[in-house]
Amino acid sequence: MEKAKKRQFGIIATIVLAAVIVLGLMWATATANRNAEHQDTLARVEKLGRIVWGVKADTRLFGLMDTKTGISQGFDIDIARALTVQISKQTGVPMSAEFVPVSTASKMQLLKNTNIDGSVSTMTITPEREKIIDFTNQYFDAGQSILVKKDSGINSIKDMNSSKYTVIVVVGTTAATETAKFAPKAKLLAVQDYATGMQALKSGQGQAMSTDNAILYGFATENPEYHIAGGTFTHGPYGIAFDNNQKPMIKETNAALATIKQNGIYNQLIKKWFSHVPGLDWRSLEAK
């Protein structure tokens, strides 16, 4: 190309590309605004005939990946299945349950992004979260505890209020924020998932791992040299989460939850997953 032609092409191409970028940004902002508007979860799952549940893959008892099937197994998964069946009955629309593994750090984002419809993933109901997403009634009663080595001499979270102690937590959990209230001097180490957290505890990166007692019981069954010290110091029952302002979906799910608690399915699942956990009074978890 001659110089003048090249110059002309360069200028035009620059303008075109710049225009594309500007228009792209404008379109993006417009879509962002439109997406901020309401999308009804119940209408979506009824239309598609499936509910995509976010579940854990690294948490014993609640959601642990079965490497044979590629699907997580645990209390959360069974609850989600039972709820899907019950919601299908209530709405008269047959729906299947699908499962997507989520990490603690990612599940809120996935809900907001509608990658998943709902989340049954050991999620504590908190006022902060309720501002952003919707919760059903509680489906499991839990509270925060610490897991320590049996011979560590640590008897409760209060013993750890010193800068020589490090408490391991997982990014995005309630434990990450609550621990600082009970042991403000202790250092915090936030990791991406529980499997890494437990490994980090075992390799001495911290002296305790803190999260909900129910999750810690799972680790204590597997690692007999560790135990839960000092009971729970917070009370934070789990709820099933949906995106913000999903009243119809919440209503259906709460109704389904009440039904499976009444007809005994819920208690069967509690017995299936928690009756063999040492040190846990599983009967207290049953629906009355």
The residues binding another protein (CB under 8 A) are: 1, 6-7, 9-11, 13-14, 17-18, 28-29, 31-32, 34-35, 57-58, 60, 64-65, 67-68, 70, 101-103, 105-106, 108-109, 112-115, 132, 171-172, 189-196, 198-200, 202-205, 222-223
Instruction: Report how far residue 136's alpha carbon sits from residue 241's, in angstroms, rounded to the nearest whole number.
Output: 7
CB of 162 to another protein, least distance (A): 17
Q: Helix (H, G, I), strand (E, B), or coil: what is residue 99?
A: strand
Give the C-alpha distances (Å, rounded to integers) separating 96 from 77, 118, 253. 13, 13, 15
Pick 173 or 232: Cβ nearer another protein: 173
Pick 149 or 261: Cβ nearer another protein: 149
Pick 92 or 184: Cβ nearer another protein: 184
Instruction: Report how far residue 14's alpha carbon sits from residue 85's, in angstroms, rounded to the nearest whole number.
Output: 56
CB of 9 to another protein, least distance (A): 6
Pick 130 or 222: Cβ nearer another protein: 222
Helices 265-274 & 75-91, crossing angle to 10 degrees?
A: 170
CB of 6 to another protein, least distance (A): 6
CB of 106 to another protein, least distance (A): 6
CB of 196 to another protein, least distance (A): 7
Contacts of 134 (CB under 8 A, 6+ apart): 241, 242, 243, 244, 245, 246, 247, 249, 250
Strand segments, DSSP code E, in 115-207 are 118-119, 134-140, 144-149, 166-170, 187-191
Pick 152 or 196: Cβ nearer another protein: 196
Q: Tell me phi and psi for residue 87, to 5 degrees.
A: -65, -40
